[in-house]
Amino acid sequence: MTTKKHILLYNSNEPLPQQGGMERVTDLLAKALLNVGYEVTLLCKYSNRLGKTYNAPTDILYLPGNKDNRRFLETLVIERNIYCIIDQTEGDIVGRFGIFRHREDFKSKVKLIAVQHNSTRAILDNYNLAFAKDFTQTRWGTLKQFFYDNVFLKLKYYHSVCLTKRLYRDLNTNYDRIVTLSSSFIEDFCFYCPKADRIKLFTIPNFNTFESCELTTAQKHVLFVGRLRNCVKGVNKLLRIWNKVESSFADWQLDIVGDGEDRDVLEMQAQDLGLEHVTFHGFQNPAPFYQRSRIFCMTSIYEGFGMVLTEAMQHGVVPMAFNSYGSVTDIIDDDINGFLVKPFDEKEYADKLVVLMSNEDKYTKMSRAAMTKSVTFSKEIIVEKWCNLVENL
């Protein structure tokens, strides 16, 4: 690295890794860019919601949160000689709800990179599932359910499509580069923004969370790690799937690591199903769970990338997921280093889970293949892509 360009890395939330995927990615990227010689400043709106101390790897600044945001950012760019801003939020720097409404309002000529962390098309394709609600137990439940499913959700869907088209148009107009996590997301972007400048669109996946890790001891544990929010993560589906296999594998355990708004509902569901080998561990460091598990189960309706899959694969834990969003096929090669399941076929999922739980040779082969595939997302490979992008703006 012959130059030391200064990069401003923006995320609305303080990038404490334990908060979630986007925060973890921001923290890891800041460290990686520093490590290869760039100057990096972190900028955010809010402190972390967990109330924990975030040990930032570099200077971290906070927007004043009022009409001074524009002046604050303009001054920051000038005083620190910022070369480019990596906006992790899809338009919080420049956009309809951004600090600046239009690119021309931002007087600085700083380069702008937007990063798309979500698979918007996967959300829209599965809209009824992602925003499902059950009114059947309430007064006038049948009528409310009919109105919600056939009127409200349809209107909400078309409104979301319109907002997506506008967002993508704005990103295409205001940003110098747009980074997606999968090449399939480039096609999705162009689907909603047919006039997109493809020269601006790049694919850079997330890199591995762990620089080194202990391989699984391959105990009879199936693992889920993530936020307990059914409309995104589908953990209620996982409990129904586990219900199909638990009685045949009494020496196996399902570990659910994470917390969220649906935890009480899920614990009640597990009780109602009579599940005896499920443990809700709450918010924990997932590393020890990866180190003892054999199989990782993702049941998400949609994801942007799904870092928990690559985290599991780094440890040799074989992943399973619904084939419900584009980037999952970049991570899992079906029947080679994991299993992909037709969305949202719980019987097929249970059948493939049984294969991994009962076939030792199959599991061993796929475990080794999973570790091999995880190298594809090594920090060195992915950071080189970031360096090439920054240097060629």
Q: What is the reported pLDDT for 133?
A: 86
Q: What is the reported pLDDT for 1?
A: 43
pLDDT along the chain (393 residues), means of 10: 82 89 93 96 90 92 88 96 95 93 92 92 90 85 91 95 96 97 95 96 95 92 96 96 97 96 97 98 94 98 94 98 96 98 97 98 98 96 96 93
196 Cβ neighbours under 8 A, 6+ residues apart: 168, 172, 189, 190
Distances (CA, A) of 175 to 101, 103, 114, 160: 12, 8, 7, 22
Indicate if 221-377 has the same CATH topology as 6-119+167-207+378-391: yes
Q: What span, in angstroms and rounded, lies between the C-alpha atoms of 330 and 326?
A: 8
Q: What is the reported pLDDT for 218?
A: 95
3-state secondary structure of 98: coil
Domain ranges for the chain:
6-119+167-207+378-391, 221-377
DSSP 216: P
Note whether 352 and 335 are within 8 A (CB).
no
Q: What is the reported pLDDT for 3?
A: 63
Task: Give CATH for domain 6-119+167-207+378-391.
Answer: 3.40.50.2000
Q: What span, in angstroms and rounded, lies between the C-alpha atoms of 63 and 58?
A: 16
DSSP symbols for 333-369: -BTTTBEEE-TT-HHHHHHHHHHHHH-HHHHHHHHHH
Closest CA to 65 of 49, 44, 48, 41: 44
Strand (E) or helix (H) holding 260: none
Strand partners, 60: 42
Q: What is the reported pLDDT for 90?
A: 86
Tokens of 35: 């490590």
The CATH H-level (homologous superfamily) assignment of domain 221-377 is Glycogen Phosphorylase B; (3.40.50.2000)
Q: Helices 307-314 and 21-35 meet at what angle, rounded to 10?
A: 60
Q: What is the reported pLDDT for 212?
A: 86
Q: What span, in angstroms and rounded, lies between the C-alpha atoms of 167 and 145?
A: 31
Closest CA to 297 of 359, 346, 369: 346
Note whether 200 and 230 are within 8 A (CB).
no
Q: What is the reported pLDDT for 49?
A: 78
Q: What is the reported pLDDT for 2?
A: 53
